[in-house]
Amino acid sequence: MKQSVSLTDGSVARGMLVFAIPIFFSNLFQQLYNAVDSLIVGNFLGGEALAAVGSSGSLIFLLTGFFNGVSLGAGVLVARYYGAGDEKSLHRVVHTTVALGLAAGAVLTVLGVLLTPQILRWMGTPQEVLVNSIIYFRVYSFGSMSVVMYNMGASILQSVGDSRSPMRYLITASVVNVVLDLLFIAGFGMGVGAAALATILSQTVSAILAFRRLSMTTEAYGVRWKEVRFHGPTLRAVVIQGVPSGVQNSVISLSNVIVQANINSFGAQAMAGCGAYSKVEGFAFLPVTCFAMALATFVSQNIGARKMERVHRGMRFGIATSVLLAEGVGVIMFLLAPILIAAFNSEPEVVAFGVQQARTVSLLYFLMAFSHCCAGILRGLGRPMVPMMIMLAIWCALRIVYITITLRLIPQIEVIFVAYPLTWAISSVLFAWYLTHCPMPSPGGGAPEHHTSRTIG
């Protein structure tokens, strides 16, 4: 049964919501991977084990973020060709993307296994946490292929308008993850490595399901394994579109690794508390990420179909909806922070650190939502360099400089927490200026390189 849908016709609001809601639930259940690991580890194995899992999060995203960003770029091309009805180009970009995912998964597996101890020591991971952190991340690294390939497969499906299939696959994988976590840790009494093993096994399930769907479809975006190879011009197009997003993800992840190193200097309790907050924060960010992804696909499909007026209407609707949802979630986070953090670990000092971070940043989530939506729009417009440059300059360089200098003057952990809303605010101003003053596609225009001035109002 055909499940892909076109976003180039009908109501803009309805089309985007119907597409974005399954992405929301997909991300929700994907977030459950890490949350369930942390809940079970924190409650059955204690604060130090929770700190080990939490400290690995930034490192995991550092190694996988680049290729996940590339998959987003490839997805923009898939959406563009799908919207334009260019089946030959669509076929090529899908098979080149799959080949890239296989190569990336192999590279990440080797790098993750070999470099884990060195990177964790460089991050200043406390000695009492280091052994568990190495075990967790090394086991997780063996599943890098599944992580990358699922993201590649889901990106292809979502780019042709099928956001429901990835949702179903992640729900299935999340159930598998919960069952295996309880079996390995609560049932067999195994350590933190078992939590990572449960996660990669469940991610393998989701990857298999995604590519089973792509292999069985007769549509132009279907995967024929004998035809999986690098097509030179298509690979260059994927690299041009995807590498800026990949670099953006990786450098921001590197920034987060450096931030995590600064958190580590405040001890295991701070690590556990901030790690617990990061799991709760992942759920809070879901409305943001789903609309950023939906906007990239919506904009790209409609540019391919030469429907520029829909592009502008979709941009306005997506930004407004995401910002309002993010702020609503932020208010809930601010009010319920003690309960949410304590669910992961009830030690008073751990809870205090997590609540402090939550209440410093949560009421400013709308700034982060605006920046992410603008980045998604610009990727869909074929301008991935703009969000890359803004986020590298602000979310990475400025954030690190601010923390490094200010911590020396004020050695308090609040300095680290404030870095996030501060850099969200500055990037939001820059994105607003760009979208207001720089040339945008004209309604009735054709290819995206022909522009006239247009603002989002």
Q: Whole-angstrom Cα distance, residue 91 to residue 156? A: 11
The reply to whether 385 falls in a domain is yes
Residue 196, CA distances (Å) to 17, 45, 58, 83, 188 in order: 33, 14, 15, 39, 15
Find the Cα–Cα–Cα–Cα dihedral 55, 245, 298, 161, rounded to 10°.
-70
Q: Write down the pLDDT at residue 122.
A: 79
Model pLDDT, residue 304: 83
Q: Is residue 184 one of the residues assigned to a domain?
A: yes
Q: CA 168 to CA 369: how far, in whole Å?
A: 25
Nearest to 96 by CA among 81, 84, 108: 81
Residue 19 lies in a domain: yes
First to last CA, the chain: 39
The counts of H helices and E strands in the chain are 16, 2
- Residues of the domain holding 407: 12-453
* 169 close to 206: Cβ distance less than 8 angstroms: yes
The number of beta carbons lying within 10 Å of the beta carbon of residue 231 is: 17
Residue 145's pLDDT is 92
| 118 Cα distance to chain centroid | 25
What amino acid is encoded at 157 in this protein?
L
Query: Which tokens sit at 30?
Result: 């994907």
Q: Quick check: 421 and 360 in contact, CB under 8 A?
A: yes
pLDDT per residue, tens digit, the chain (457 aa), is 455 556 788 888 888 888 888 888 877 777 776 667 777 877 787 777 777 776 666 677 766 777 777 887 788 888 888 888 888 999 999 999 999 999 988 988 898 888 888 878 877 777 778 888 888 888 988 988 998 999 899 989 988 888 889 989 988 988 898 899 889 988 888 888 888 898 899 999 999 999 999 999 988 899 999 999 998 888 888 888 888 888 877 777 777 778 878 888 888 888 888 888 887 887 778 888 888 888 988 888 888 888 888 888 999 999 999 999 999 999 999 999 999 888 877 888 888 998 999 999 999 999 999 999 999 899 888 888 899 899 889 998 999 999 999 999 999 999 999 999 999 999 999 999 998 887 665 443 333 333 333 323 3
The whole-angstrom distance between residue 262's C-alpha and the CA centroid of its chain comes to: 23
7 part of a folded domain:
no
Which tokens in the block code for residue 185? 């840790």
How many CA atoms, within 13 angstroms, populate the side-chain half-sphere of residue 412? Answer: 7
In angstroms, rounded to a whole number, what is the distance separating the alpha carbons of residues 221 and 223?
A: 7
Q: How far apart are CA 228 and CA 97, in angstroms?
A: 9
- pTM exceeding the 0.95 threshold for the entire prediction: no
Rounded to whole angstroms, the Cα distance separating 447 from 451 reads 9
Inside any domain, residue 121: yes
Q: What is the pLDDT of residue 3?
A: 56
Q: Which residues pair with 452 in a beta bridge?
A: 440
Quote the number of domains for the chain: 1
- Residue at 247 is within a domain: yes
Measure the CA–CA gap between 230 and 199, rounded to whole angstroms. 30
Does the residue 3 lie in any domain? no
**368 within a domain of the structure (yes/no):** yes
User: CA-to-CA distance for 51 and 307, rounded, in angstroms?
Assistant: 49
Supply the Cα-derived Rg of the chain in whole angstroms. Answer: 21
CA–CA distance, 457 with 455 (Å, rounded to integer): 6
According to the model, what pLDDT value does residue 212 have?
Answer: 95
Rounded distance between C-alpha atoms, residue 397 and residue 380, angstroms: 25
The enclosing H or E element of 411 equals: none
Per-residue burial over 35-52, b = 16 or more CB atoms within 10 Å of its CB, e = otherwise: bbbbbbbbebbebbbbbb
Please name which of 207, 196, 145, 439 lies closest in space to residue 308, comparing C-alpha atoms.
Answer: 439
Q: What pairs with residue 453 in β-bridges?
A: 439
